[in-house]
Amino acid sequence: MIARRRQVALALTALLAAGAACQAQARQEPAPPGRPAPPAARGFTLVASGDVLPHSAVIQRARFDAGGTGHDFRPMLAGAQGAVAAADLALCHLETLHSASGDHTPELAGSLVATGYDGCSTASGHSLDDGAPGIRRTLDAMDRAGLRHTGTARTDGEARTVTILPAGPAKVAHLAYTYGTDDIRPPSGQPWAVNLIDEGRILADARAARQAGADVVVVSLHWGTEWQDAPDRRQLTLAGRLTAARTDGRPDIDLLLGAHAHVPQAYEKVNGTWVVYGLGDQIAGEMYNGKGVQDARGNESTLGRFTFAPPVRPGGRWEVTRAEFVPQMYDLDAGRVVDLNQAIAQGADLTAVRDEIRDVVLSRGAARDGLMMGQ
């Protein structure tokens, strides 16, 4: 494992200097002479990444990268910036919150925005670690940075408000829920402080989002069994029921994004809708599994990238026409997110890590439905 981390450092400097690869844009065929070209129906691309866990070692690295004053998370996120900034909409998952003793969250939120992220889900098992004040501090910091959020709330009115983000020509609703809050009860009189997974509530919220004008509804779920790369029974059951729900023949939910397991999990198309059971940890310190053993999988993740095309008829569904995953890891020694395909192209001996992630992602047959490994 230590050798693996050292190997990536050999190629990291060259990789970051080369910059992230640009997204190629599709070319249109010219119109026949004398005939104006028809307007192109434009779609959009959405990317989503896994848990952001600013453990103490991560915070210390950000302080070092800031020169000892403040915290700068931009260098550690630079390896993901190419894919993130190129998307029309980029979503992350912020698992921890801004505690009274911490001062890094405002700078983390600003760094996420600088990387290209538009919004984060905030419903997790740690949402209530510091009670209502922690939620307020976290969301206040995100608001100041211009980073949208969903899953936790400061007021009942905020909890009832749908988070809708622009994505090219489309409006995307982002909803988020968690399996629980590690036995911490919501603050007295504030049951709405964090969204808990409840099938009826999720579907009602998704339908309300449609009524609020959302073209696409994306749901982030903090779920699953930690350190298990296969989705558990509850994930499979809930994914099946949520993706099967329809209103007037149109699916209520267009994409499911999972987090919490701390390892990459499979992608799968269920009832015609893409489900990512677990994106893994995009940023985290040293991770120890349920047996107390340091586990490199806790620093591995994927970035999901989905290209949506507009409906072929009014009121129809925005369809995913291209589905991709980008394998990543967080290099503990360098303190950097690494795009594994780019690192391998630069000479890092990380093919085994990349292939391990690929095999898990494709373990439920997603390749048959067109999922590809993105560059």
| Selection from 283, 244, 230, 301 nearest residue 71 by Cα | 283
pLDDT at position 86 is 98
pLDDT at position 238 is 98
pLDDT at position 7 is 46
CB 328 within 8 A of CB 301: yes
Q: Phi/psi class of residue 272: alpha, beta or left (left: φ > 0; alpha: ψ in -120 to 50)?
A: left
pTM, rounded to two decimals: 0.90
pLDDT at position 286 is 97
SS3 127: coil
pLDDT at position 33 is 54
- Mean pLDDT, the chain cut into blocks of 10 residues (375 residues total): 45 44 39 53 95 95 95 97 98 83 85 98 95 94 97 97 98 98 94 98 98 98 98 98 97 98 98 98 97 97 98 93 98 98 97 98 98 94
- DSSP letter string over 135-169? HHHHHHHHHHHT-EEESB-SSHHHHTS-EEEEETT
pLDDT at position 342 is 97
pLDDT at position 71 is 95
Which tokens is 160 given?
């009832």
Compute CA distances 216 → 86, 168, 173, 232, whole Å.
19, 12, 6, 26
Mind listing the domains of the chain with CATH numbers? 43-373 (3.60.21.10)
Tens digit of pLDDT for each residue in 160-205?
999 999 999 999 999 999 999 999 999 999 999 999 999 999 999 9
pLDDT at position 97 is 74
pLDDT at position 136 is 94
DSSP lists the bridge partners of residue 274 as 255, 269
DSSP lists the bridge partners of residue 149 as 120
pLDDT at position 157 is 97
- What angle (nearest 5°) sits at the alpha carbon of residue 97, between those of residues 96 and 101? 115
